[in-house]
């Protein structure tokens, strides 16, 4: 009698290597049916750029599984109902998946695990995509960390993250395959209009592309990362964030690969732990995309300015570094981290518009829009999150441009109206045809922001 198959439920872990659930299924030697469920009832609905990436990542995953003659079954709807239906359709004797460190996902996992116990179906939940589980790190008082530097030090005292698992050498193909929905019917990619041409030019989703990008960064970027990471015109960052967001590569793989390098790992691994810190914050604060973590900031007298928000979104603020970043974002689904901070500060402080509006725009336009990192970084810039920059720290876009884009190469690439200007003129270009004047004067915007901050502190 043929062995009952095992379902492997893929989520934000769209890879074959270092996949605990898939590795467990391979060890069982039972036929494997892989499934991906698009469930937007318990998770925040994806933005447009993230949906585009997900489509490519699922295609890449399906291709990798086909080499093992294992199908990737696609279903859309409530995950608990679909799991129940798949168990009935396939007669599976087990279902394996990896943990996700979000309260909604944890609640879903608990409900499904309870249902499986009632049906006497084996369930195995593998380690999730974090270096350290949130419950494993506590401060001296027993509370979760709310400041990054002590968190980082605590991580350094922990046992090293587990070594990544190799991709299975062999998977057992199933005899029968349940019905799968068609990826193209999910409408993840834009069609009319097709705005994703810049994304296709800039990115290749999938596990193979993630490994290739990591290798290239280790070979040519890691040693000088601490010097080059703040220069937006320089390819000095890893650009691994969307691959990590979708689990095409795991933090463990990145961690151990970087630790094995000879030079430059410290600054890069610190950034990887900042990502970890954000995930730990989300674990205990599931509504960080809407609610400021510092309660007094709920009283901030935000302005309503639809025209100002639109100018910021379109890269028409009159501040070249801000505009270059916003145009890079629209064209490629990505923005250099230094410029993200400047652009976010401009919205929340110069324009005094709610940080939630900026976070929502980034969520829709970033290919690496992460449910933890995106809102926590916005709260950091706005001054209302854990370990946040103080509100009175207001980036001067012109000074930031002079410091981090001194030759103007980044601005010239994304703001073609200014290409003819010399580098020294780019931070404050003056009157230029087809380029708008500043929508708010720097000193006036700074004064307004500080006055609003003082008001909520009284």
* Total structural domains within the chain: 3
* 262 plus 402 within the same structural domain: no
Domain around 394: 295-457
Contacts of 292 (CB under 8 A, 6+ apart): 298, 300, 355, 379, 382, 384, 385
* 347 plus 249 within the same structural domain: no
Q: Is 91 within the bounds of a domain? A: yes
* 243 plus 217 within the same structural domain: yes
| pLDDT number for residue 181 | 97
| Collapsed DSSP state (helix, strand, coil) of residue 27 | helix
* 228 plus 364 within the same structural domain: no
Confidence grade of residue 4 (pLDDT, cut at 50, 70, 90): very high
Which of 102, 128, 154 marks a domain boundary?
128
For 410-454, how does the pLDDT look when each residue is reduced to its tens digit (9 = 90+)? 999 999 999 999 988 899 898 899 999 999 999 999 999 999 999
Q: Is the dihedral of CA 149, 130, 186, 40 positive or negative?
A: negative
* 226 plus 351 within the same structural domain: no
* 367 plus 444 within the same structural domain: yes
Confidence grade of residue 157 (pLDDT, cut at 50, 70, 90): very high
Q: Is 100 within the bounds of a domain? A: yes
For 237-286, how does the pLDDT look when each residue is reduced to its tens digit (9 = 90+)? 999 999 999 999 999 999 999 988 767 799 999 999 999 999 999 999 99
For 85-115, how does the pLDDT look when each residue is reduced to its tens digit (9 = 90+)? 999 999 999 999 999 888 777 788 889 989 9
Q: Is the dihedral of CA 269, 274, 278, 281 positive or negative?
A: positive
* 304 plus 453 within the same structural domain: yes
CB 379 within 8 A of CB 292: yes
* 12 plus 78 within the same structural domain: yes
Where are any strands of DSSP class E within 144-244?
A: none
Contacts of 451 (CB under 8 A, 6+ apart): none
Which of 252, 284, 316 marks a domain boundary?
284
Which of 284, 307, 324 marks a domain boundary?
284
What is the set of active-site residues?
A: 271, 274, 302, 337, 355, 378
Q: What's 237's domain CATH number?
A: 1.25.40.80
* 338 plus 312 within the same structural domain: yes
Q: Is 289 within the bounds of a domain? A: no
For 30-49, how does the pLDDT look when each residue is reduced to its tens digit (9 = 90+)? 999 999 999 988 888 999 99
Confidence grade of residue 1 (pLDDT, cut at 50, 70, 90): low
The secondary structure of residue 44, as a DSSP letter, is P
CB 251 within 8 A of CB 275: yes
The pLDDT of 64-68, averaged and rounded, is 97
* 389 plus 329 within the same structural domain: yes
State how far the Cα of 304 lies from the Cα of 301, in Å rounded to an integer. 10
Number of CB atoms found within 10 A of residue 174's CB: 22
Start-to-end Cα distance in the chain: 75
């Amino acid at each position: 009698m043929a062995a009952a198959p095992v379902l492997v439920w893929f989520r934000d872990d769209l890879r074959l290597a270092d996949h605990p659930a898939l590795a467990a299924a391979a060890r069982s030697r039972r036929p494997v049916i892989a499934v991906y469920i698009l469930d937007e009832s318990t998770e925040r609905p994806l933005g447009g750029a993230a949906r585009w990436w997900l489509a490519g990542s699922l295609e890449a995953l399906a291709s990798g599984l086909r080499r093992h003659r294992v199908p990737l079954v696609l279903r859309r709807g409530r995950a608990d109902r679909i799991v129940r239906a798949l168990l009935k359709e396939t007669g599976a004797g087990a279902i394996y998946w990896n943990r996700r460190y979000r309260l909604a996902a944890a609640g879903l996992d608990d409900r499904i695990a309870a249902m499986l116990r009632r049906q006497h179906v084996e369930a195995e939940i593998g380690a999730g995509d974090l270096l350290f589980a949130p419950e494993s790190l506590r401060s001296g008082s027993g509370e979760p960390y709310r400041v990054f530097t002590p968190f980082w030090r605590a991580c350094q005292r922990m046992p090293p993250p587990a070594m990544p698992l190799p991709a299975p050498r062999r998977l057992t193909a199933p005899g029968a395959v349940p019905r799968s929905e068609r990826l193209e019917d999910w409408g993840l990619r834009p069609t009319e209009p097709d705005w994703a041409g810049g994304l296709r030019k800039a990115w290749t989703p999938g596990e193979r592309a993630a490994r290739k990008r990591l290798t290239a960064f280790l070979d040519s970027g890691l040693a000088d990362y601490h010097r080059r990471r703040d220069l937006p015109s320089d390819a000095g960052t890893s650009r691994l964030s969307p691959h990590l967001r979708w689990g095409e590569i795991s933090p463990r793989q990145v961690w151990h690969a970087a630790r094995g390098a000879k030079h430059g790992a410290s600054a890069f691994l610190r950034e990887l732990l900042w990502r970890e810190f954000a995930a730990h914050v989300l674990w205990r604060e599931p509504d960080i995309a809407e609610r400021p973590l510092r309660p007094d900031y709920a009283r901030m007298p935000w302005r309503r300015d639809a025209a100002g928000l639109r100018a910021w979104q379109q890269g028409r603020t009159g501040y070249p570094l801000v505009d270059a970043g916003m145009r890079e974002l629209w064209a490629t689904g990505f923005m250099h981290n230094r410029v993200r901070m400047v652009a976010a500060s401009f919205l929340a402080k110069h324009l005094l518009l709610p940080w939630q509006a900026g976070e929502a725009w980034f969520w829709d336009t970033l290919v690496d829009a992460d449910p933890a990192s995106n809102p926590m970084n916005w709260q950091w810039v706005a001054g209302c999150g854990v370990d946040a920059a103080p509100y009175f720290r207001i980036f001067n876009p012109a000074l930031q441009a002079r410091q981090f884009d001194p030759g103007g190469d980044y601005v010239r690439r994304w703001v073609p109206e200014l290409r003819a200007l010399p580098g020294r003129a780019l931070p404050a270009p003056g009157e230029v045809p087809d380029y708008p004047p500043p929508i708010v004067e720097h000193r006036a915007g700074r004064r307004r922001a500080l006055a609003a901050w003082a008001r909520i502190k009284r």
